[in-house]
């Protein structure tokens, strides 16, 4: 493998000294970039991008070619996993993801199995191909959805925000939901380990919908299964630690429990003051975040001010990876993303001396 030229991101995740605060952006390969929109047009669809290692490589590298980012992230979708589990993912124009089959009947749930990883070979091929394309410029992050988040799609058959069918199952038939979560956690563990084997140098678990759960239900239905995945992850590859990040959007009340999983870093959304988060869990984990992506729609001056606020709130020392608190929106002017990245690089140096 090629030598990594910029390992700032990996060192920050391990809370080791760095010269500045590394930065990347969730959904950095996305619709706000004209070159991405062009690739998507060529691929014919979003799933076409995900399922072609060549296209996935092309779009993964676009933000790396454009900006001085410190990490790349595999272009894919969390729903490739339920698709491989046999649920039949599809997208209807102008609508969100949907599944041909749902997991609501006891018989279907009891028949659920960990799929053969060969069904996700296109993802692992993309990882290998991206590593070649990166040629050691920055590390590559692999990722997956959390079991709870994936289960909401598998039970509801589509995206949502209140997850009433899934929650009804959680309270009326917890045994069935635990079965889904258990099989999904095993699947995600194999999936992330195969990404690591193919070349992923860090992994992140996106718990996009854990914040919809109650305090107790979060532990029982989401965090417990992320914990199982973290326990089962390959810890080292290419002679180096493979750090893990868990991110529950809307999970700022539960950082202490998240930090106790053994993950190396926690993602934070923008509702959390990162300085307060550091006081709560900074002795155990690195922190990744947490600018509101809506701010990228404003002005370079406002963006710089907010970058300065977040860096100051985290304060001196290591263990901070700058990021947005959620994916970059499609309406972001690309130059505003550039202004954020430049501000992080220049303003953060003072906190690392």
Residues of this chain that interact with a second copy (CB under 8 A) are 161-164, 167-168, 171-172, 211, 213-218, 250, 252-253, 270-273, 276, 291-292, 294-295, 297-299, 302, 306, 309, 325, 329, 331
Q: Which residues 6+ apart lie within 8 Å of 239 measured at CB?
A: none
280 carries an active-site annotation = no
Catalytic hit among 70, 77, 83, 269: 77
77 carries an active-site annotation = yes
Cβ nearer to a second copy, comparing 85 with 272: 272
Cβ nearer to a second copy, comparing 41 with 215: 215
Q: What is the DSSP pairing of strand 89-91 with strand 97-99?
A: antiparallel
Preceding amide of 117 cis, omega within 30: no
Cβ nearer to a second copy, comparing 76 with 248: 248
CB of 239 to a second copy, least distance (A): 40
Catalytic hit among 40, 66, 101, 280: 40
40 carries an active-site annotation = yes
Catalytic hit among 15, 27, 137, 345: 27
CB of 121 to a second copy, least distance (A): 35
CB of 93 to a second copy, least distance (A): 19
CB of 214 to a second copy, least distance (A): 4
Cβ nearer to a second copy, comparing 110 with 173: 173
Cβ nearer to a second copy, comparing 117 with 302: 302
CB of 324 to a second copy, least distance (A): 11
Cβ nearer to a second copy, comparing 213 with 343: 213
CB of 21 to a second copy, least distance (A): 18
Catalytic hit among 20, 36, 153, 218: 153
Residues 99, 228, 23, CA angle at the centre, nearest 5°?
80
15 carries an active-site annotation = no
27 carries an active-site annotation = yes
Active site residues: 27, 31, 40, 77, 153
């Amino acid at each position: 493998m090629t030598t990594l030229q910029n390992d700032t991101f990996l060192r920050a995740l391990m809370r080791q000294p760095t010269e500045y605060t590394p930065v990347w952006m969730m959904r950095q390969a996305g619709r706000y970039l004209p070159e991405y929109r062009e690739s998507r047009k060529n691929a014919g669809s979003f799933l076409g991008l995900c399922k072609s290692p060549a296209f996935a490589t092309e779009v993964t590298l676009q933000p790396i070619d454009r900006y001085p980012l410190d990490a790349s992230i595999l272009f894919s979708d969390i729903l490739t996993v339920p698709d491989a589990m046999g649920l039949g993912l599809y997208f209807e124009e102008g609508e969100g993801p949907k599944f041909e089959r749902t997991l609501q009947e006891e018989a279907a749930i009891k028949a659920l199995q960990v799929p053969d990883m060969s069904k996700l070979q296109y993802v692992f091929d993309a990882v290998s191909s991206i590593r070649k394309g990166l040629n050691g410029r920055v590390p590559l992050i692999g990722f997956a959805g959390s079991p709870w988040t994936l289960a909401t799609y598998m039970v509801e058959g589509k995206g949502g925000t209140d997850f009433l069918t899934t929650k009804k199952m959680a309270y009326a038939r917890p045994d069935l939901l635990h079965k889904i979560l258990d099989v999904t956690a095993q699947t995600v563990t194999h999936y992330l380990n195969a990404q690591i084997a193919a070349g992923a140098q860090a992994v992140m678990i996106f718990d996009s919908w854990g914040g919809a759960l109650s305090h107790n239900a979060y532990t029982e239905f989401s965090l417990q299964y992320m914990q199982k995945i973290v326990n089962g992850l390959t810890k080292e590859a290419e002679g180096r630690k493979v750090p893990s990040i868990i991110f529950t959007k809307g999970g700022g009340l539960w950082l202490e429990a998240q930090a106790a999983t053994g993950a190396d870093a926690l993602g934070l959304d923008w509702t959390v003051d990162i300085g307060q988060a550091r006081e709560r869990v900074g002795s155990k984990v690195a922190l990744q975040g947490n600018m509101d992506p809506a701010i990228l729609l404003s002005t370079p001056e406002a963006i710089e001010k907010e970058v300065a606020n977040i860096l100051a709130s985290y304060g001196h020392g290591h263990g901070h990876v700058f990021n947005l608190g959620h994916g970059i929106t499609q309406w972001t002017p690309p130059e505003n993303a550039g202004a954020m990245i430049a501000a992080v690089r220049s303003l953060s140096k003072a906190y690392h001396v």
